Amino acid sequence: MIVQGSSVTRGVREDTEVCIVGSGAAGAILAWELAERGHKVVLLEKGGYLPTEAFTQREDEMIPRLYKNAGFQFAMPSGIIIAQGSCVGGSTVVNDAVCFRTPDLVLERWGKEFHIEGIGPSEMKGYFEKIERRLSVADVRPDEMNANNSIIRKGCETLGWSGSLNRRNCRSCRRCGLCHLGCSYGTKQSMLETYIRDAGTFHDEDVKIYSDCTAESLVSSGGRVTEVRAVIHSSEGNVPMSVRAKTFIVSAGTFASSELLLRSRLNRSGHVGRNIALHPSPAVIGDFDEEVNGHQGVPMAYHCREFGMQKTGRKGYLIESVFLAPYQFLLTLPGYIYESKELMKRYNHYAMAGILLQDDSVGRMKLGGPVGTLIFYRLTAEDGRLMVEGMQNAARIFFAAGASRVITSHRKRTVLYTEDDLPLIEERGVGTTDINLGSGHPQGGNRMGGGPGDSVVDSYGKLHGLQNLFVCDASVFPTSVGVNPQLTVMALALRTGQHIGDNWGKIATG
């Protein structure tokens, strides 16, 4: 059952077994898994509920309704744009459906360096397989490759670099190219189309989802959380809500989960809101004589892995095919007004790639900003070097595929005409005032680990020092994963849900 804020006219009190904050890649799976074990669940989602038929494919309508802060969320001082979904289904509704398993080397590092139990590749394999079956994850078919993806593949093959078709959670994709605005056809197997829909079909009496509901604080006593206090944004104004439960799970994402813990004065370890990674991504654009029409077809179907951890065995980056609708595309371009307008005239002739940098976890956040939080992040010197290298190699791919010129996302107009111009990328730099960067993958903030000395939660997401409070989302990642993270979040949610279910008596009653 989904209760929308507009239908609520007075204060709400819920008594249940499980209360989950957040309905995205983790929260929806946790709700389903615990309902399957016979537990009653109340799930709180800050964003609104939009059914598939409400997705209009218009940027001006969908971005304000589906994205956190209407897309206006930035890291300081560089102004990195951080995109996160804020709706029932979370970021799974607005991402590109790309599904990478966590690299084995990352899982091994988490186990060895951060002392996380049961996180090795062999132990996580079953969780990945179950999620992939449930979400119809499969390789992109060759006929689903549009010209944008094919250009990047051609460049890689010409250079002799390794690349691969992506795996996506999509069934019978209509290839409209507007994944970022919500799938109007219901073919992307987001949480909205899978776990949340199934919860309504098979557990309608046991799973109650409140949309338009902001969790404001967690109330704790005697080593246990007893209540979530929230506000429902209704047609009558802000309506108070209280949820009492036996077990609480915070799955609101890197920033919102950390905010809730900080507001609740639950930063017992001192690490909440720290150790944040972003996968900051610059855009590189190839201009071709023929029309590419990159906005038509699957936006992300191919990637170059020559410089990623999967190939090199060390921290690096992926070069991923990507394309954006006009407004979002415009944000990547250099210059102002007339320069941007001039460059947009060639929109149909552009191919685009993004550099997914496996960055160091050096970001932090604190409460008190104009929209509730301040996010601080600077590239390390090594990450800056890798980003420059990644942009240069993306340019090489486009030139190898026949581009007449390459445009970078530097704020000062930067156009390359041959590989001889590649040093210009390093000259322009990637400092805080040099380049337009985007992020759709904030991670960390509530690091998982073996003890409170260096982490916020334990190996299964339980907050150190509390018996019945769990955190499960990308905020528990000890490091950045170096690939699109949604499948990692989902597998961890399945693992955490199983752990809570198997240990229900101890967790729920203490």
pTM for this predicted structure:
0.96
**Which pLDDT value is given to residue 336?**
63
Mean pLDDT of the chain: 95
pLDDT at 337 over 90: no
Q: Kindly state whether residue 481 falls inside one of the protein's structural domains.
A: yes
**Which pLDDT value is given to residue 72?**
87
Q: Kindly state whether residue 70 falls inside one of the protein's structural domains.
A: no
Residue type, 319: I
| DSSP result, 220-289 | EETTEEEEEEEEEEETTEEEEEEEE-SEEEE-S-HHHHHHHHHHTT---SS-TTEEEE---B-EEEEE-S
pLDDT at 482 over 70: yes
pLDDT at 499 over 70: yes
pLDDT at 43 over 90: yes
Q: Put residue 381 in one of left, alpha, beta given phi > 0 → left and psi -120 to 50 → alpha.
A: alpha
Q: Binning pLDDT at 50, 70 and 90, where does residue 371 land?
A: low
pLDDT at 268 over 90: no
Q: Kindly state whether residue 179 falls inside one of the protein's structural domains.
A: no
pLDDT > 90 in the chain, percent: 92
pLDDT at 342 over 90: no
Q: Kindly state whether residue 327 falls inside one of the protein's structural domains.
A: no
The label of the residue with tokens 């198997």 reads 502
Q: For 259-263, 369-373, 470-474, 477-481, which range has the lowest pLDDT when averaged over its residues? A: 369-373
The Cα–Cα gap between 453 and 257 comes to: 20
**Which pLDDT value is given to residue 81?**
94
| DSSP result, 333-400 | S-SSTHHHHHHHTTGGGEEEEEEEE---S-BEEEE-STTSEEEEE---HHHHHHHHHHHHHHHHHHHH
Residues 16-24 have a mean pLDDT of 98
Q: Kindly state whether residue 97 falls inside one of the protein's structural domains.
A: yes
The Cα–Cα gap between 161 and 152 comes to: 11
Q: Kindly state whether residue 31 falls inside one of the protein's structural domains.
A: yes
**Which pLDDT value is given to residue 235?**
85
Report the DSSP beta bridge partners of residue 217: 229
**Which pLDDT value is given to residue 301?**
97
**Which pLDDT value is given to residue 289?**
98
Residues 394-407 have a mean pLDDT of 98
pLDDT at 377 over 70: yes
Residues 116-138 have a mean pLDDT of 98
**Which pLDDT value is given to residue 369?**
66
Number of domains in the chain: 1
**Which pLDDT value is given to residue 276?**
98
pLDDT at 331 over 90: no
Q: Kindly state whether residue 290 falls inside one of the protein's structural domains.
A: no
Q: Kindly state whether residue 508 falls inside one of the protein's structural domains.
A: yes
Domain containing 451 equals 1-56+82-136+184-275+445-510
CATH number (domain holding residue 493): 3.50.50.60
**What are 137-170's pLDDT values in tens digits?**
999 999 999 999 999 999 999 999 999 999 999 9
